[in-house]
Amino acid sequence: MKSVREKIEGSVTMSFDVNTSGKPINTKVIKAEPVKIFDKAAIRSLSKWRYAPKVVNGIAVVDEDLEMTIDFNLAK
């Protein structure tokens, strides 16, 4: 991976919703540093996560407008 060879670190902040099954959906990058270096890896990582769905009156509903920042740091 080029970013590792060049010792690049960064972070990606994404907005997303969680569907009634607990899967992240509608993921969008809202901030990345450096730009476009880690976007695909961050989206791929978030897509594998699972959450407890939001429950309202005993019924699972979509939880909207959540944010997550993933940091990409090299081990020191």
- The predicted-structure confidence for 27-66, as pLDDT tens digits, reads as follows 999 999 999 999 999 999 999 999 999 999 999 999 999 9
Do 5 and 39 touch, CB atoms closer than 8 A? no
Among 5, 24, 12, which residue's Cα sits nearest to residue 62? 24
CATH 1.20.1540.10 fits 2-72, yes or no: no
Q: What is the pLDDT of residue 7?
A: 85
User: pTM of the entire structure?
Assistant: 0.86
Q: How far apart are the first and last CA of the chain?
A: 18
